Amino acid sequence: MINPYLPNLAVIQNIKEEILGQRSIKTFRVTFLDAAIQESFTYKPGQCVMVGILGEGESFVALSSSPTDNGYIEFTLMKLGKVTTALHRCNPGDIITVRGPYGNGFPAENWTEKNIICVGGGIGQAPLRSLIKYIIANRKRYAGRLDVFYGARSVADLCFKEELFELEKRKDVNVYLSIDVKDNAWDRLVGFVPDVLLRAKPSPDSAIAITCGPPIMIRFVVQNFLKLEFKEEQIYTTLEKKMKCGIGKCGRCNIGNLYVCKDGPVFSYDKIKNIPEAIE
């Protein structure tokens, strides 16, 4: 039996600075030192890994790469605490630890005939990036519309900027990029993401809605999807920030009668709507 607490060693291949400043955000591309582990490592969009540095600790993070990205995995971290600060000090070639994947991913295999609407804010775009890349890589299987809403406080706070600008050029994706405050250098949408969503009025017909971002944004996005007559079971979010041990042993990620690590982190809204601490 594989020891779930035993981490695998991985080497950092590349680090991309997404956002600068005190709360900087970086995307790390890593490969496992053991080629057999790298070859056999599989996951679904929405699943998480525990990443760490020996002697510093570990931190949960959603994978931001797609399962179709062969030969590596990526995760995106904001510098907040001890472990994430230590990871932000790393350089390509440094060795870190990776455990996982953990949790349930998005049930994308059931959405091949659906119109898919992704609504992200800030670093919350990371798990949505995984899903979006996966859908695009399998575009022939996904017959419906793909709408991508993403926003941040300012241009400087936008994650995955270059990728999203490239996504705008595709004819098979509808992209709505926004910032909260008007900037003369910004020629796209201005406004809080939930308001942009309401203005765009995506149809609930044969649709799936996924949102991830700051809790306040998620609450308003869900409210606006309901105003647009989406059913509760059509709306999904991910609560990976509440995960702790990842395997249901510590009991610290429980919300109501659910354990985020075992029952989630991906949930449809009808499963968590009556649990106040789910989105807080």
In single-letter form, the type of residue at position 60 comes to: F
> Where are the domain boundaries for CATH 2.40.30.10 in the chain?
8-102
**Structure confidence by residue, pLDDT tens digits, 107-147:** 999 999 999 999 999 999 999 999 999 999 999 999 899 99
Query: How far is Cα 38 from Cα 32, in angstroms, rounded to an integer?
Result: 5
Q: Return the number of other C-beta atoms located less than 10 Å from residue 90's C-beta.
A: 16
**DSSP code of residue 158:** -
Indicate the pTM of the whole model: 0.95
Q: Where in the chain is the domain with CATH 3.40.50.80?
A: 108-238
CATH of domain 8-102: 2.40.30.10
What order of strands is seen across the sheet that includes strand 115-121?
189-190, 174-179, 146-152, 115-121, 207-212, 235-238, 266-268
Rg of the Cα atoms in the chain: 18
CA distance 52 to 151: 29
144-188 pLDDT, tens digit each: 999 999 999 999 999 999 999 999 999 999 999 999 999 998 999
CB distance 68 to 138 below 8 Å:
yes
Q: What's the order of all strands across the beta sheet hosting 25-32? A: 57-62, 48-53, 95-102, 8-19, 25-32, 73-78
* Predicted confidence (pLDDT) at residue 1 exceeds the cutoff of 70: no
Residue 192: pLDDT band (50, 70, 90) is: very high
CATH numeric code, 108-238:
3.40.50.80
Q: What phi and psi values does residue 178 have, to the nearest 5 degrees?
A: -145, 155
Task: Count the helices and strands in the chain (H runs, E runs).
Answer: 8, 15
Say whether pLDDT at 2 is over 70. no
